[in-house]
Chain A
Amino acid sequence: MNIMPQTIVTPEKPRIMAERPIKIVARDVNVYYGEKQAIKNVSIGIPDRAVSAFIGPSGCGKSTFLRAINRMNDTIPTCRMTGEIAIDGKNVYDRDVDVVQLRARVGMVFQKPNPFPKSIFENVAYGPRIHGLARNKSDLEDIVVTSLKRTSLFEEVKDRLGHSGTSLSGGQQQRLCIARAIAVNPEAILMDEPCSSLDPIATAKIEELIDELRQNFCIVIVTHSMQQAARVSQLAAFFHLGHLVEFGDTDEIFTAPREKRTQDYITGRFG
C-alpha cells in the first residue's frame, strides 16, 4: 500500500478551483467492503459553490466515494475506510464528529426518488423538525414553502401539501427529495445519479435546478450520463476501478483529457 500521501489531484489548478475556496478535501481515502477494496488511495479537493461530477463505468467506486463523504457507508456493516475526508478543514471521521450533524450539513439525494410515505409537507418539514431549525409552526411553514419554491415544486403542489409524497410523478418526487435535502440548509449536497430513473423532461428540470442550486451549495453529482456531466458540472472526476484517474475542469476533461483511460471512456471505447 502506498504510504506516502498522494498529492491532491489539482494539477495545473483548474480554473474553477482557482476562483472558489475548496470545501471538501479527501486524503488517501481507501474504502473496503469486507476483503474487496472499492476505493484506492483517492485524494481530491472539491470546491464550494460549484457542481463537481463523478463519472466512470459501473462499479468504479464513484458512488462509494460519494457516500463516504457524509458517512452513509457507516450503515453498511462490512464497510471499512482509511484516510480522511475534511469539510472546511474538519475531518468528518474524527471521533468527536456527530454523524447526525454531519448529515445535516451534507445533504443527500438518492438514485431512486425516495420520499417518505407521508404528506408532501411532512417530507420537507421532517429535517428541520428533527434538527430544531424552526422555532414555531409558521417558521416551519416558511421553511417548507421556501424549499419547495427553490425546487420550483411549490406551484405544482401548493394545493395538495397534505397529499402523500409518493403520489407525485417520478420527477416531482425527486425534486421533493431535493427540497427535503435543502430544507435543513446544508452546505453541500451529494447527488447519487439523481436522474437515472427519470424521463428526459424531468431530467432537464432537475438539471436546471442543480444549476440554480450551485449558486449557494457545494454540489457533488454522480452520473452515468456524460452529456449530463457536461451540461451541469464545472468540474469532473473520472473514476476507474477504484482509482481517481483524472480531475479537472469539465471542459478540459471532455475536450482534452490528459489520461488515456479518460479519453477511452469518454469516446466510448470502454465502460
Chain B
Amino acid sequence: MTDTFKKGDPKLIARRYRAERRFRAYGAAALGLTALFLAILIADIVVKAWPAFFEHRVIMKIAIDPARVDAKDPIKGDFEGLVKDAFRAALPAVTSRGDKKKLSGLLSVGAADDLRRMVVNEPGLVGTEVTAPVLLSANVDLYLKGQQTGTALRLGGGTIQIAEAGEDYLLTGAIGSLVAGEVVRVNGGALRIAAAAAGGLKAEALVRPATLNAATAGQWDVLAFSVAEAGRRISDREIVWLESLKDRGAIEKAVAWRFFASGDSREPELAGIRGALVGSLLAVAVALALSLPLGVAAAIYLEQFAPKNRLTEVIEVNINNLAAVPSIIFGLLGLAVFLNFFGLPRSAALAGGLVLALLVLPTIIIAARAALKSVPPSIAEAALGVGASHQQAVFHHMLPLALPGILTGTILAVARALGETAPLLMIGMVAFIVDIPRNLTDAATVLPVQIFLWSDLPEIAFQSRTAAAIVVLLAVLFCLNAVAIYLRKRFERRW
C-alpha cells in the first residue's frame, strides 16, 4: 500500500512478472495451436468420410420369376438377370445393345446379392413381385453425391421447336440461353447441344424424343454440367438416365450399413470395414491377453523381488531399450520366430497378436513398474508390519493401488498396438482379405493396414472409405480410452 511496503529492485520485480506473463502466453499459444490443428485434422477427416456412410440405391419392382428362381433352392437363382431386366424395364427408352450394357453398368456388381439374401430368407417371395432397393455402382454413387460434376437444372423459358436433321436434331425458337454441351430434355427425350447451325442449334440425341411437337415454357428443361463429359467417369447419357430415375423418385439415399457389415472388396460400394475391425480386435485381444499378465508379472518381479545385481540391471536397461526399438523390427522377429520357426499361419490374427504383444510388452512393464514405484512405501511397511509376507504385501496392497496406473499404461500400449501397421506387414497381414475372420488362425487384416491398402487404390470412391476407416479407427481408440478412464476412476474412487 505505502512506500514502506516496497522492497527490492522495482525493475527486477517488473522483469520477473513480465517473464511470468510471457511464459503463460507461450503456453496458451501452444495449447491453442495444438487444439486448432487437431480440430482441422478431425474436421477434415470427418468431412471426407461423411459420404462413405451413405449409399444410393434404385428402388425397383422386381418380379421373382419361378422359372429363374427355384423356390426350393433359391440361392442358385438367376438374380443378376432379374435385377438387370427390371432395371431395363424401368428405362424403356434405352433400346440399343450398347446402351443396355452401359445401363447394367450403373448397377453395382453385387446388386443382386441383397435381393438374393431377401429371397433366401423368405422363399415365399418366389412368384411374387417385390419392391426392393438395388445398390448402384460406386461411380453412380459418386455422381449422385455430386463428386463427379455439378449438375444444374433449369426450366426452359419460351417455346422451342424441334426438327429432325438426319441423325441429329435442329432446335429453333427460344434457344438464346443454350450453350454447347448442355442437355435439353423435351418430349421424353434428351438432346445435347452440339453447335450452332443454320437458323438454330444442332443437337445430338442422347435419348430420342417421342414426338417433335413444339414445347412451351415449362415443358422442357436444361441440364448444365460443371465438368465436361471427357473429364468425368460418367457420360451425359448415363446422367440423363439417372436424372430421369431421380425425377421419378426411384433413387434413394440411405445409410450404408454394409460398410460396417461386410469385408473388403474390389468394388468400393461393396467394401466394408468389418473384416479389418474384427481382425484388429482379435489381434489386440491376443496381444493384451499375453502382454498384460506377463508385463505386470515381470514388473512386480523386477520392482519387488529381483536381487539388485548386474544381471537385473542389464535386463532393466534392455527393457527400456526394447520400448524404443522400431516396430518393423518386431515384425521381422515375428516372421522369423512365429511364422518360420513355429509355423503359425501367415496373416493370422494369432501371429499378429503375438507380434503386437512383443511390441507392447516393454511399454507395459515400464508403466507397471512406474505405477508400483509410486505406491507409498508406508503401505508396504504397514503390511509387512502386521506380518504379511512380501508377496502378500505386493498382491494385497501394492498391486491394487498401482492398478489405475497400470491400466493407464496398458491402454496407451493397446492404443499403440491398434494403430501399428509396419510389423504386421512383415507377417503378411497386408493381404487383400474379403472374408471376415472367424477365429484366430483365419487370414485377417487390421484397421490401419486396411486404411493403408485403401489409400493406395486409384478409385476416387475409396478416398472417402479410407477416411471413414480412419474415423472407425479413431472411434475404437476413443472407446478404449473411455473404458480406461472409467476403470481408472472406478478403482480410484473405491477409497
- Cβ of B308 to closest chain A Cβ, rounded Å: 6
Whether A104 contacts B384 in the complex (CB less than 8 A), given A110-B378, A116-B379, A126-B396, comes out as: no
Interface string of B370-385 (1 = CB under 8 A from A): 0000001011111111
Q: How far is the CA of A131 from the CA of B383 in the complex (A)?
A: 12
Across the interface, which residues of B come within 8 angstroms of A180, CB to CB? 382, 386
- Cβ of B371 to closest chain A Cβ, rounded Å: 15
Whether A107 contacts B386 in the complex (CB less than 8 A), given A116-B397, A126-B396, comes out as: yes
- Cβ of B397 to closest chain A Cβ, rounded Å: 6
Whether A103 contacts B385 in the complex (CB less than 8 A), given A117-B495, A164-B495, comes out as: yes
Contact B386 A126 (CB under 8 A): yes
- Cβ of A151 to closest chain B Cβ, rounded Å: 14
Interface string of B440-465 (1 = CB under 8 A from A): 00000000000000000000000000
With CB as the reference atom, state the residue of chain B lying closest to A165: B495
Contact A77 B308 (CB under 8 A): yes
Q: How far is the CA of A183 from the CA of B382 in the complex (A)?
A: 13
Whether A110 contacts B388 in the complex (CB less than 8 A), given A117-B401, A117-B495, comes out as: no
- Interface range for A: 20 to 34
B147, CB-defined interface residue at 8 Å: no
Across the interface, which residues of B come within 8 angstroms of A104, CB to CB? 386-387
B211, CB-defined interface residue at 8 Å: no
Q: How far is the CA of A183 from the CA of B388 in the complex (A)?
A: 13
Task: Indicate the member of A114, A127, A183 with the most B CB atoms within 10 Å.
Answer: A114
- Cβ of B491 to closest chain A Cβ, rounded Å: 11
A166, CB-defined interface residue at 8 Å: yes
B340, CB-defined interface residue at 8 Å: no
With CB as the reference atom, state the residue of chain A lying closest to B376: A114
Contact B378 A130 (CB under 8 A): no
Across the interface, which residues of B come within 8 angstroms of A108, CB to CB? 381, 385-386
- Cβ of B387 to closest chain A Cβ, rounded Å: 4
The interface size of chain B toward A, counting residues with CB under 8 Å, comes to: 21
- Cβ of A119 to closest chain B Cβ, rounded Å: 8
Q: How far is the CA of A118 from the CA of B383 in the complex (A)?
A: 12
Q: How far is the CA of A110 from the CA of B378 in the complex (A)?
A: 8
Q: How far is the CA of A103 from the CA of B384 in the complex (A)?
A: 7
Contact A72 B381 (CB under 8 A): yes
Contact B384 A130 (CB under 8 A): no
B389, CB-defined interface residue at 8 Å: yes
B318, CB-defined interface residue at 8 Å: no
Whether A181 contacts B386 in the complex (CB less than 8 A), given A72-B381, A110-B378, A126-B396, comes out as: yes
B439, CB-defined interface residue at 8 Å: no
Across the interface, which residues of A come within 8 angstroms of B320, CB to CB? none
A267, CB-defined interface residue at 8 Å: no
Task: Indicate the member of B382, B389, B397 with the most A CB atoms within 10 Å.
Answer: B382
Segment 205-262 of B: residues with Cβ below 8 Å from A: none
A255, CB-defined interface residue at 8 Å: no
- Cβ of B405 to closest chain A Cβ, rounded Å: 14
Contact A181 B385 (CB under 8 A): yes
Contact B386 A103 (CB under 8 A): yes
Segment 104-157 of A: residues with Cβ below 8 Å from B: 104, 107-110, 112, 114-118, 126-127, 130-131
A-B contacts, 28 of them at CB < 8 A, read A70-B385, A72-B384, A75-B380, A75-B381, A75-B384, A100-B387, A101-B387, A102-B387, A103-B384, A103-B387, A104-B386, A108-B385, A108-B386, A110-B381, A114-B378, A114-B381, A114-B382, A115-B382, A116-B383, A116-B397, A117-B400, A118-B495, A130-B386, A131-B387, A166-B495, A177-B382, A180-B386, A184-B386
Besides the known contacts A101-B387, A116-B383, 13 further A-B residue pairs in the complex with CB atoms under 8 A apart: A100-B387, A102-B387, A103-B387, A108-B381, A108-B386, A109-B385, A112-B378, A117-B401, A117-B495, A126-B386, A130-B388, A131-B387, A164-B495
Closest 3 CB pairs of A and B: A104-B387, A114-B378, A127-B386
